[in-house]
Structure 1
Amino acid sequence: MKRKVLKILIVILLISLPVILHQTYRWMTALPDRITIAAGHSEGRYYGMAEQLKSMLQEQLPIKVEILETQGSLENLKLLREGKADLGFYQPGTEFELTQREPGPKKQKRAVASDNDEICFIANLYSQVMHVIVPLDSEIISVSELKGKRIAIGLPGSGDLAASLPLLDHLQLNLNEIDPAYLTYREIEEQFGQKRLDAVFMTLGVEAPILHQLLESGQFRLLEIPYIGALTRRETHFYPYEIPAGMYSRKQRVIPERNLPTVACGALLLTRESVSDELVSVVTSQVLHQNFSRQMHLNELSAQGNTFARENQGFPMHDGADHVYNPELKPFLNSEFVEATEGMRSFIVSMLIAGYLLIHWFQKRRMKAKEHRLDRYIRQLVDIENQQMKLDGNKAEDGPALLTLLDDVTSLRQHTLKQFSAHELNEDRATDVFLEMCHALSDKINAKLLGWKIDRLGEKMKDD
């Protein structure tokens, strides 16, 4: 009865196991109710992309998206590490440049990474191009004449500042040889209008509104950066870039007048390793969708697709993003589910093994403590053997007694065999021993009977 109940319970467990695993999988990979995007300044391009991404995600998923206005790439990275942001925009090289140099009023400190929560890559969005802009009527003809000038080099913690520092180093200028200005884009426009600013270093996508506002006005021009190869060789996060002639103005004045060599770096969308694979997969799909790249004028991403988006610079790719880039490699089980249930699975397997060993030990102990079914028959057989030992077959009355004992052995053997199946007889060594004892005792009784019959036959011959 107990075995039957145990079998029923095992069958029920096996039937319900897929349901349990499915519900556990859904619970472990459920999307969060709210996510946060670290987006930079409200007037910057990062912020505009964050708003577009927010609109697309909230339209597709039952989540709320919050956008954080920050000081730029360095703060975005810090918020990601601290777990205060789930997504963040980042300019490669920012952390290194702003922690290795003295970039402004006070030295920036590196954000401390939280334990076991690595920063991961989602997508490269567009090229952030270095621009050196001066007023049209400025006496500055080349970048070699920037010494002693008031130059806007970006806000503390921003990608603009992180790109400006290696450019100054490339031009063999340090912060003490210029008048650095840490200004917002709005302040740059105001101070240019007030003749308080000589030049500005901007590292932005060529579609950035601030660039078009300045250069389409016809009141500014671009300076060429010399020795691009040397700059890109030394600063690995930069790569050569060429601004097409007439990119910003083709009316009264063509800007630039010819293809202008410069450098650029990527604009990365990052996340944390702990962020849901499902969420990151959706975000990656949205970023790669043509609607997003067209609305945000991400021409490189639109034209080159996955090839451009996967141009990573220094961060491991998140599993959720990798599932989108390489759908054929997507595992059957979500990696989050596998990792999250690893401890549970180890515990369950250990408990099953321990349970099996305990049950096996308990059964063996119970079998040892419990009388074997043959024990009673063996005792009866021993009683018969003791009785036959009292009969030597020499007396006349021994014969009938021995015959009775022989019949008792035969009956006991037949009754015992009826209690066991053929499988039990084959598996249980005790039955073999019992049968051998029966045969030996029968042979012993038969021998005494034979002697008794011979004696009786001799007595009869004497009488005759």
Structure 2
Amino acid sequence: MKRSVIKVLLVILLIFLPVILHQTYRWMTALPDQITIAAGHPEGRYYSMAVQLKDLLEEQLGTKVKIIQTKGSLENLALLSSGKADLGFYQPGAEYVLKEFQAEPDNVPVPEQEEPEQICFIANLYSQVVHVIVPADSEIFKLADLQGHRVALGEQGSGDLAASLPLLKHAQISVEDIHPVYLSYEEIEKQFENNQLDAAIMTVGIEAPVLHELLDTGKYRILEIPYIEALTRKESHFDEYEIPAGMFRRADPVVPPQDLPTVSCDAHLLARESVSEDLVSGVTAIILHQDFSRQLQLNELIEGGNSFARDGQGFPLHAGADHIYNPELKPFLNSEFVEVTEGMRSFIVSMLIATYLLYRQIQKRREKAKEHKLDRYIRELVAIENKQMKLDGNNPSDGPALMILLDEVTKLRQENLTQFSAHELNEDRATDAFLEMCHALSDKINAKLLGWKIDRLGEKIQKSSDS
């Protein structure tokens, strides 16, 4: 009966196991209710892209998005590492360049965490072009002329600063040779208007509104960067770039008046490794869709597609993004599903093993219990045999005693037979041996009873002949 119940329970478990696993997977891998994007300054392109991405994520995936205003790449990276942001924009090389540079102590908050989270790559979005901007009537005509002047290098911890420092080094100018200021884009515009700033090094997308607002006025010009090939050879995160003539102003004065060689850095979107694969897949699909690229004028992404989006990875590719870039390599089972169900599968297997071992233990105890009963029967049978050994059938009183012993053997055998099924009797050799012992003892007692009856019959014949 108990064995049948166990079988029924196992069948029920196997039937409902897929449903349990499916519901558990949906619960544990569901898209988060809210995510956080570490963007940048509201006037920068990072922030505008974050806003556009926020709208599309909330519309298509139903996930609420919170945008954190930051001072740039270094703070974004710190927020990702500390787990306070899920997605973040980053300029390659910023951490390396700014690692030992700090103009104002404690100006950029870097969250502390004993075990920083692994950061992964999602996509390369566009090129951030280095612009060295000076007033049109300035006496600064080349990089070397920046010495002794008030120059905006970008906010501390920003990609602007990470690009400005190598550029100054390339021009063999130290920070001490200039009057550096660390300003936001809004502050740069104000100080230019108030004649409080001599130059600004800005590393932004060529479509950034702040560039067009400044340069379209005709009041500013862009300096040429010399020895571009030498710069890109020394600083691997820089690429050669050419700003087309008339990009910012086509009326006189044209800005720039001719094609202008400069350098650029990539703009990467990163994510924590622990962010849901399905969410990152959704983000990657949105970014690679041409509607997103057109709205934000990401012409390089439109032309280059997946190849441009995957360019310059400085971090391991997130599994969710890899599912979009290489859909043919997507595993049959989602890795999150495997991770989520691993504990449950281990638990179920452990429970099955434990159930089997418990069942075996119960079976052994039953077998031991049966053996104990058989031992009792054997002991009683041996006692009966000892009694019959004292009776040889020669005395007149031996007959009734032998008959009683024969009845006891019969009852003992019957009682034993009621304790075992036919299958157990067939399989259990000990029970078979006990029954053979019963038969042998019964034969002995019957033989003595036969002798006793013959003796009693002889006595009757003798009495009859005497009379």
In structure 2, the CA distance between the partners of 1:10 and 1:351, relative to structure 1 (3 Å rule), is closer
Q: Match for 1:169: what amino acid?
A: K
- Cα shift at 1:55: 1.0
Q: Is the 8 A contact 2:80 2:117 kept in 1?
A: no
- How far, CA to CA, are the matches of 1:117 and 1:88 in structure 2? 13
Where 2:126 maps in the other structure, the secondary structure is strand
- How far, CA to CA, are the matches of 1:453 and 1:258 in structure 2? 141
- Cα shift at 1:110: 4.8
- Residue by residue over 1:432-462, the C-alpha shift from the partner in whole angstroms, topping out at 9 and shown as x without a partner, is 433553575578679989999999xxxxxxx
Are 1:156 and 2:156 counterparts? yes
Report the counterpart of residue 173 of structure 1 in structure 2.
173
Residue correspondence of structure 1 range 397-416 to structure 2 within 5 A: none
In structure 2, the CA distance between the partners of 1:173 and 1:377, relative to structure 1 (3 Å rule), is same
- Structure 1's unaligned 5+ residue stretches are 456-464
- Structure 2's unaligned 5+ residue stretches are 456-467
Report the counterpart of residue 16 of structure 1 in structure 2.
16
Residue correspondence of structure 1 range 195-210 to structure 2 within 5 A: 195-210=195-210
Q: Is the 8 A contact 1:247 1:255 kept in 2?
A: yes
- Cα shift at 1:249: 3.9
- Cα shift at 1:379: 5.9
In structure 2, the CA distance between the partners of 1:104 and 1:387, relative to structure 1 (3 Å rule), is closer
More off after superposition, 403-412 vs 236-245: 403-412
Report the counterpart of residue 458 of structure 1 in structure 2.
none
More off after superposition, 371-380 vs 254-263: 371-380
Identity of aligned residues (%): 69
- How far, CA to CA, are the matches of 2:168 and 2:371 in structure 1? 95
Q: Is the 8 A contact 1:142 1:224 kept in 2?
A: yes
Report the counterpart of residue 461 of structure 1 in structure 2.
none
Report the counterpart of residue 134 of structure 1 in structure 2.
134
Report the counterpart of residue 296 of structure 2 in structure 1.
296
Report the counterpart of residue 68 of structure 1 in structure 2.
68
- Cα shift at 1:418: 9.0
- How far, CA to CA, are the matches of 2:109 and 2:229 in structure 1? 31
More off after superposition, 187-196 vs 51-60: 187-196
- Cα shift at 1:38: 1.8
Report the counterpart of residue 3 of structure 1 in structure 2.
3
- How far, CA to CA, are the matches of 2:167 and 2:363 in structure 1? 80
Q: Match for 1:141: what amino acid?
A: F
Are 1:224 and 2:186 counterparts? no
In structure 2, the CA distance between the partners of 1:449 and 1:4, relative to structure 1 (3 Å rule), is same
Q: Is the 8 A contact 1:81 1:112 kept in 2?
A: no
RMSD over aligned CA atoms reads: 3.9
- How far, CA to CA, are the matches of 1:63 and 1:323 in structure 2? 20
- How far, CA to CA, are the matches of 2:228 and 2:82 in structure 1? 37
- How far, CA to CA, are the matches of 1:423 and 1:445 in structure 2? 30
Q: Is the 8 A contact 2:214 2:220 kept in 1?
A: yes
Where 1:197 maps in the other structure, the secondary structure is coil
- Cα shift at 1:44: 0.9
Q: Match for 1:270: what amino acid?
A: L
Report the counterpart of residue 285 of structure 1 in structure 2.
285
Residue correspondence of structure 1 range 3-402 to structure 2 within 5 A: 3-104=3-104, 110-113=110-113, 115=115, 117-252=117-252, 254-340=254-340, 342-343=342-343, 345-347=345-347, 349-350=349-350, 352-369=352-369, 374=374, 378=378, 382=382, 385-386=385-386, 389-390=389-390
Q: Match for 1:60: what amino acid?
A: Q
- Cα shift at 1:174: 1.2
- Cα shift at 1:377: 6.0
- Cα shift at 1:344: 5.2
- How far, CA to CA, are the matches of 1:167 and 1:273 in structure 2? 33
In structure 2, the CA distance between the partners of 1:243 and 1:447, relative to structure 1 (3 Å rule), is farther
Q: Match for 1:30: what amino acid?
A: A
- How far, CA to CA, are the matches of 2:12 and 2:386 in structure 1? 55
- Cα shift at 1:128: 0.9
Where 1:122 maps in the other structure, the secondary structure is strand
- Cα shift at 1:49: 0.6
Report the counterpart of residue 462 of structure 1 in structure 2.
none
More off after superposition, 421-430 vs 4-13: 421-430
- Residue by residue over 1:194-230, the C-alpha shift from the partner in whole angstroms, topping out at 9 and shown as x without a partner, is 4333322111112212223333333333222223333
TM-score by length of 1: 0.83
Where 2:261 maps in the other structure, the secondary structure is strand
TM-score by length of 2: 0.82
- Cα shift at 1:300: 1.6
Report the counterpart of residue 459 of structure 1 in structure 2.
none
In structure 2, the CA distance between the partners of 1:94 and 1:451, relative to structure 1 (3 Å rule), is same
Q: Is the 8 A contact 1:216 1:248 kept in 2?
A: yes
- Cα shift at 1:253: 5.0
Q: Match for 1:140: what amino acid?
A: I
Q: Is the 8 A contact 2:25 2:341 kept in 1?
A: no
Q: Match for 1:227: what amino acid?
A: Y
- How far, CA to CA, are the matches of 2:116 and 2:10 in structure 1? 38
Q: Is the 8 A contact 1:154 1:201 kept in 2?
A: yes
Q: Match for 1:424: what amino acid?
A: E
- Residue by residue over 1:110-154, the C-alpha shift from the partner in whole angstroms, topping out at 9 and shown as x without a partner, is 543453632222221111111222233333222222211222211
Q: Is the 8 A contact 1:86 1:275 kept in 2?
A: yes
In structure 2, the CA distance between the partners of 1:382 and 1:135, relative to structure 1 (3 Å rule), is same
- Cα shift at 1:241: 2.6
Q: Is the 8 A contact 2:75 2:109 kept in 1?
A: no
More off after superposition, 106-115 vs 78-87: 106-115
Q: Is the 8 A contact 1:99 1:108 kept in 2?
A: no
- How far, CA to CA, are the matches of 1:219 and 1:280 in structure 2? 43
- How far, CA to CA, are the matches of 2:254 and 2:389 in structure 1? 131
Q: Is the 8 A contact 1:103 1:165 kept in 2?
A: no
- Cα shift at 1:430: 1.5
In structure 2, the CA distance between the partners of 1:428 and 1:227, relative to structure 1 (3 Å rule), is farther
- How far, CA to CA, are the matches of 2:408 and 2:279 in structure 1? 83
- Cα shift at 1:29: 1.1
